[in-house]
Amino acid sequence: MSEQTDSQQARELAGRRIVLGLTGGVACYKAAALCRALTGVGAAVQVVMTEGACRFITPATMQALSGQPVFTSTWDERPADGMAHIRLSRQADAIVVAPASADFIARLAQGRGDDLLALLCLARPAARAPLLLAPAMNREMWAHPATQRNLRQVQADGAHVLGVASGAQACGETGEGRMLEADELLQEVIAFFTPQALLGQHVLITAGPTLEAIDPVRGLTNHSSGKMGFALARAAREAGAQVTLIAGPVALPTPAHVRRIDVQSARDMRQATLARVDAATIFIAAAAVADWRPAQCATQKIKKDGNGQPPAIALTENPDILAEVAQSPRARAGQLFCVGFAAESENLLENARRKRERKGVPLLAANLGPATFGRDDNALLLIDEHGATELPRASKRRLAQQLVAEIAQRIAPVAT
């Protein structure tokens, strides 16, 4: 996780005890990476494997990665009372079954206890030990009415079924049913433990730079990487919001369960924003929108003509998306909470205060441009009507979580 740089972030699941269950499937190889990712963020992981899982990956591998001997049998004699299913399910803050095979889901749906993993899922105190399932199977097995029926049943019984990916499968077929990647599953587990401070909110975020075309192959842009806006999208969704992310040209993966719209220019970004802002309750303008664009975009590549004279490029001002949204009737009526960013090169506090008033936003996050562009960490100065609060240098991931918490404190909860 390249974005996880500060120690607080790196220990996001510190103190959490997770039973990681593996059932039979090729996706067991991803469970090894998941185990490592979970322990990497501080979770204590106890692995339980079915007989089928042991055919795909060895308990020795999982023991090495989790740092704990693996449980594979109902009749394991290590617990003094001989009741592994009770001890393990009572010690867990969550049970994550990844991969969850079609057969395992069918057995869960029937409430069977024919191996240790099924038994401990059945024996778990549902209110204290949530059950997360990461299905993995062939596309036909996934689409089969029996599997879909079983999935509905286990959900009705309280399990949280994570999504599946679509794509090439180990069997050579292509379709839905692949297990999510280890990173995505880690995000899901972290989201699961995150307080749902934005539940019921719809957050619209702009992120990244814009690219203002000069001709078909050149453009004006800036050094914004989009990392802060993407981290905010992830943090807001983990806090329970529905998130739409409008991204300028950046090379970043979309956070899980975030709706992403790619745009190029400031005018594209404005159009995409205005088309969606009516559904939003929070608007965060994290994009570094180009202030100016070439007045004309040449239809063909501008050529050097050999006389040593560079072309004169006339500029015209771009629309200010944030200022426009902040002046909209819903924002003025308090139905849309607007947050702006300010990247300054000097005199942060004074410039940021003035910017907050000029843009008409209740909250503005100011940073020093050269100290943030492209980096994984940053420091923010939050300005609101009461004054300024510093968020000291930390990973953008951590700052995004803090900013989301600050926003949550300032908005009225949505009735759900």
Query: Token digits for 266?
Result: 């400031």
Closest among 194, 201, 232 to 412, alpha carbons compared:
201
For residue 107, the minimal CB distance to ligand C5P (Å) is 51
For residue 318, the minimal CB distance to ligand C5P (Å) is 5
Active-site annotation holds for 35: no
Closest among 5, 11, 88, 8 to 43, alpha carbons compared:
11
Residue numbers 344-383 binding ligand C5P by CB under 6 A: 355
Composition of the chain by helix, strand, coil, percent to 5: 35, 25, 40
Which region, judged by CB under 6 A, interacts with ligand C5P, from 1-9, 168-176, 274-282, 318-326? 318-326
Query: Token digits for 358?
Result: 């000029």
CB atoms within 10 A of CB 143: 13
Q: Is 287 in the site for ligand C5P (CB under 6 A)?
A: yes
Q: Is 92 in the site for ligand C5P (CB under 6 A)?
A: no
Among 321, 331, 366, 404, binds ligand C5P (CB under 6 A): 321
Interface mask (CB under 6 A) for ligand C5P, residues 251-280, using x and -?
Answer: ---------------x--------------
For residue 203, the minimal CB distance to ligand C5P (Å) is 14
Q: Which is nearer to ligand C5P, 134 or 280 (CB)?
A: 280
**Sole residue written with tokens 């794509």:** 167
For residue 49, the minimal CB distance to ligand C5P (Å) is 49
Radius of gyration of the chain (CA): 25
Q: Which is nearer to ligand C5P, 61 or 351 (CB)?
A: 351
Query: Token digits for 151?
Result: 């999935």
Q: Is 320 in the site for ligand C5P (CB under 6 A)?
A: yes
Q: Which is nearer to ligand C5P, 196 or 351 (CB)?
A: 351
Among 285, 336, 363, 403, binds ligand C5P (CB under 6 A): 285
CB atoms within 10 A of CB 164: 19
Q: Is 289 in the site for ligand C5P (CB under 6 A)?
A: yes
Q: Which residues contact 313 (CB under 8 A, 6 or more apart)?
A: 214, 294
DSSP 84: H
Q: How many residues bind ligand C5P (CB under 6 A)?
A: 15
Q: Which residues contact 121 (CB under 8 A, 6 or more apart)?
A: 21, 89, 95, 97, 108, 131
Q: Which is nearer to ligand C5P, 166 or 327 (CB)?
A: 327
Residue numbers 204-223 binding ligand C5P by CB under 6 A: 206
Beta strand pairing call for 363-368 and 94-100: unpaired
Q: Which is nearer to ligand C5P, 136 or 246 (CB)?
A: 246
Which SS3 state, helix, strand or coil, does residue 395 take? strand
Q: Is 228 in the site for ligand C5P (CB under 6 A)?
A: no
Rounded CA separation 167/170 (Å): 10
Q: In the beta sheet, which residues pair with residue 247?
A: 207, 262
- Catalytic pick from 28, 54, 121, 171? 171
For residue 322, the minimal CB distance to ligand C5P (Å) is 3
Q: Which is nearer to ligand C5P, 157 or 406 (CB)?
A: 406
Q: Is 318 in the site for ligand C5P (CB under 6 A)?
A: yes
Closest among 51, 154, 49, 177 to 107, alpha carbons compared:
154
Torsion, CA 96, CA 98, CA 168, CA 261, rounded to 10: 10
From residue 163, give the alpha-carbon distance in Å to each of 181, 184, 283, 339. Answer: 11, 10, 27, 31
For residue 324, the minimal CB distance to ligand C5P (Å) is 8
CA angle 405, 409, 414 (to 5 degrees): 105
Interface mask (CB under 6 A) for ligand C5P, residues 332-351, using x and -?
Answer: --------xxx---------
For residue 9, the minimal CB distance to ligand C5P (Å) is 24
For residue 361, the minimal CB distance to ligand C5P (Å) is 8
Residues binding ligand C5P (CB under 6 A) = 206, 266, 285, 287, 289, 291, 318-322, 340-342, 355
Active site residues: 171
